[in-house]
Amino acid sequence: MAEQPIPRFFLALMIAATLLVALVILPVVSELFLAAILAGVLWPLQKWLTARLWGRRGIAAGVLTVGVVLLLVGPLATMGAFIIADGADGVRFVSDALHSKDVARLIDLLPTGTGDFLRDAIDRLPRDPGELAGQVGAQEGATGVAVAALRATGSFAFHATMMLIALFFLLVRGDEAVAWLDGISPLRPGQTRELLDTFKKVSYAVIVSTGVTSAVQAAAALVGFLIARVPNPVFFALVTFFVAFIPAIGAALVVLLAALLLLVTGHPYMAIFLAAWGLVVVGLVDNLVKPLLIRRGLEVHGAVVFFALIGGIAAFGAIGLLVGPLVVSLFLALLRMYHRDYTPGDPRVPGMPGLPPGGESDASTALNTSAAK
């Protein structure tokens, strides 16, 4: 039976419906994206737990969702307690160092315009957290601060709840959703599943590598802070952990700032040691550990991984830490499909970078097998 042409009115309805669905999803697209990423990473654990619970996928998904909440809230609450206990002294140390006479003498050596700007900025800095709270209260009022804090907390809770709800349903029906997408996709049978499998591997590699690298860099920085006798080393190590999520420059920048504070407070030798420690040890961790871990999912050179991370953050913000490598993996997966399925044996198309000859994913092998049948 010959295929009938698609009526123009039906095509217009499809385009309009697609645009409306995009408008509906747009406010929660980040939450759905993160939920899909986490569901892909947790899917092997979901299958294992479902088998242990006699096939009750809903209970297994609920256990994993609660586990995600505990993993997010627990460390954040612990770090918050450390920051509250140790952060006041850390803020006071930074403020006292910037208000010191040594910093004033260094500023006097700068050009007039630059020196005046820095003096004005330092004069506006509070000398302790209590003064900061007083400044905020005087400028905005206690009611305004409370309303702003309540609004921010409510927004975070809403987006986190949406993400957790989506994560639960994707864990329960994730395999059915993948089969449905593979069935309705205009790609060949199995190609959509192969792309999703690539996304899952890349997401797992990025999440694991980012968390592990940040923790290792924070631990290395803490050792340097303790050796250099930086006041409140735990506070600076926690700051290093969070800033380390910025590739290449994050953790080392915090260590260099701590070294600068040591220099202006009269500890030049310790400052030189800490600066060298930050550039060599802390920086080396990011340049070696993260690319090696991510390459397990992306299968490309470490330089490509580095620029994918930097470009993703610059284009999409914090979520670009995942989007950047995923976009690169999508491009490389499509090239691999084109070379394998549409130009078989074409000598003009070289092999994939970082992928050994004949090294195809499990999804690729399954796709070739099904096509041969």
Q: What is the pLDDT of residue 80?
A: 58
Q: What is the pLDDT of residue 19?
A: 92
Percent of the chain scoring above 70 in pLDDT: 65
Tell whether 322 and 249 lie within a shared domain.
yes
Inside any domain, residue 296: yes
Tell whether 258 and 150 lie within a shared domain.
no
Domain end call among 136, 153, 184:
184
What's the structural domain count of the chain? Answer: 2
Dig out the tokens for 154 from the structure: 């409510």
Tens-place pLDDT, residues 87-106: 555 556 666 666 666 666 76
Tell whether 229 and 149 lie within a shared domain.
no
Structure confidence at residue 75 as a pLDDT band (50, 70, 90): low
Q: What is the pLDDT of residue 215?
A: 87
Structure confidence at residue 16 as a pLDDT band (50, 70, 90): very high
Residue ranges making up the domain that contains 56: 28-128+145-184
Tell whether 273 and 242 lie within a shared domain.
yes
Tell whether 234 and 296 lie within a shared domain.
yes
Q: What is the pLDDT of residue 342?
A: 75
CA–CA distance, 178 with 176 (Å, rounded to integer): 5
Tell whether 351 and 206 lie within a shared domain.
yes
Tell whether 86 and 152 lie within a shared domain.
yes
* Alpha carbon 76 to its chain's center: 16
Neighbours of 110 (CB within 10 A): 13
Region 55-63: mean pLDDT is 90
Q: What is the pLDDT of residue 133?
A: 47
CA–CA distance, 288 with 339 (Å, rounded to integer): 31
CA–CA distance, 9 with 172 (Å, rounded to integer): 37
**Which stretch, 110-114, 237-241, 295-299, has highest mean pLDDT?**
237-241
CA–CA distance, 207 with 164 (Å, rounded to integer): 17
**Which stretch, 170-174, 250-254, 288-292, has highest mean pLDDT?**
170-174
Q: What is the pLDDT of residue 249?
A: 67
Inside any domain, residue 373: yes
Q: What is the pLDDT of residue 359?
A: 43
Dig out the tokens for 179 from the structure: 């089969």
Q: What is the pLDDT of residue 84?
A: 56
Dig out the tokens for 230 from the structure: 């930086």
Inside any domain, residue 4: no
Q: Among 242, 281, 284, 239, which residue's Cα sits nearest to residue 257?
A: 239
Tell whether 253 and 335 lie within a shared domain.
yes
CA–CA distance, 131 with 134 (Å, rounded to integer): 5
Inside any domain, residue 226: yes
Inside any domain, residue 347: yes
Q: What is the pLDDT of residue 168?
A: 92
CA–CA distance, 332 with 298 (Å, rounded to integer): 9
Inside any domain, residue 22: no
Tell whether 180 and 201 lie within a shared domain.
no
Residue 372 has pLDDT above 50, yes or no: no
Tell whether 370 and 233 lie within a shared domain.
yes
Q: Which residue has the higher pLDDT, 68 or 350?
A: 68
Tell whether 52 and 194 lie within a shared domain.
no
Please state the φ and ψ torsions of residue 25, each to the nearest 5 degrees. Answer: -80, -25
Tens-place pLDDT, residues 338-368: 877 777 665 555 555 544 444 444 444 444 4
Tens-place pLDDT, residues 121-136: 666 655 554 544 444 4
Inside any domain, residue 107: yes
Tell whether 268 and 358 lie within a shared domain.
yes
Inside any domain, residue 326: yes
Percent of the chain scoring above 90 in pLDDT: 5
Contact 165, 171 (CB under 8 A): no
Tens-place pLDDT, residues 30-51: 888 888 888 888 888 999 999 9
Residues 6+ apart with CB under 8 A from 298: 202, 205, 304, 305, 308, 325, 328, 329, 332, 354
Over the Cα atoms of the chain, what is R_g? 26
Average pLDDT in the chain: 74
CA–CA distance, 196 with 182 (Å, rounded to integer): 10
Q: Which residue has the higher pLDDT, 221 or 144?
A: 221
